[in-house]
A and B are shown apart, each in its own frame.
Chain A
Amino acid sequence: VQLVQSGAEVKKPGESLRVSCSASGYPFTDYWIAWVRQVPGKGLEWVGTIYPGDSDTRYSPSFQGQVTLSVDTSVTTAYLHWNTVRASDTAIYYCARKSASYTPWGQGTLVTVSS
């Protein structure tokens, strides 16, 4: 089982952004995938989770309306999307698969938003 995330991104405020999480080694549609944010040097925050089988999605209220979770089952990949990024979105974003709990985790994607 492996989750491989897309590489680091540098964006300007107001730009759009998509981060990907490519899954392999298991039936992609059978397991929830979660996204977690970590501001550098700070703790972990739950962004939301999506079930690839039917795209059922749950967002943390702090992130509802700010990001969109989606999947493409044809390429066994989950996505975290922003229409408009802000400086406060600067963080490392992790994806993780839910089995008994959340394992494994992707390697993380550093997103830097700066003018």
Chain B
Amino acid sequence: DIVLTQTPLSLPVTPGEPASISCRSSQSLLDSDDGNTYLDWFLQKPGQSPQLLIYTLSYRAPGVPDRFSGRGSGTDFTLKISRVEPEDVGVYYCMQRMEFPYTFGQGTKLDLK
């Protein structure tokens, strides 16, 4: 199975400040057949189901604010929040869907300072 390793696991952030979460994969997530990188980001707010933020490396899901961005290549990926808002609190997960079984990172808990 592909292993995803997220850092940090805990991220206290001052509202209005930027934040960054790293996700490293044990294998490349670049599909050489179609050129897509199959790495997605989800946010699970307290008491809620996960919600999609970013798919296929860098595409924002509908309704996701443009302060969220995804980047990276091959095996190293980053989710960036340009200015953290109070509603961004929760646990962030990366997920690979390059090959079955799809796998998730351990999660990064973002809270406010």
Residues of chain A within 8 A of B101, CB atoms compared: 46, 48, 58-62
- A108 CB–B CB distance under 8 Å: yes
CA distance A58 to B102 in the complex (A): 10
Residues of chain B within 8 A of A70, CB atoms compared: none
Q: Which of B51, B52, B91 has the most CB of A within 10 A?
A: B52
Q: Identify which of residues 89-115 in chain A touch chain B, using a CB-to-CB cut-off of 8 Å.
A: 94, 96, 100-108
User: A103 near B49 (CB under 8 angstroms)?
Assistant: no
User: How many interface residues does A have (CB within 8 Å)?
Assistant: 24
Q: Which of A36, A44, A94, A104 has the most CB of B within 10 A?
A: A44
Residues of chain B within 8 A of A48, CB atoms compared: 101
User: How many interface residues does B have (CB within 8 Å)?
Assistant: 24
Minimal beta-carbon separation of A74 from chain B (angstroms): 26
User: B97 near A103 (CB under 8 angstroms)?
Assistant: no
- B61 CB–A CB distance under 8 Å: yes
Tell me the nearest residue of chain A to B44, going by C-beta: A44
Q: Which of B50, B55, B95 has the most CB of A within 10 A?
A: B50
Minimal beta-carbon separation of A40 from chain B (angstroms): 12
Contact of A103 among B61, B103, B105 (CB under 8 A): B61
Residues of chain B within 8 A of A46, CB atoms compared: 101-104
Tell me the nearest residue of chain A to B97, going by C-beta: A101
Q: Which 6 A-B pairs have the closest CB atoms?
A: A101-B55, A60-B101, A103-B52, A105-B49, A44-B104, A46-B102
Interface residues of chain A, those whose CB is within 8 Å of chain B, are 34, 36, 43-46, 48-49, 58-62, 94, 96, 100-108
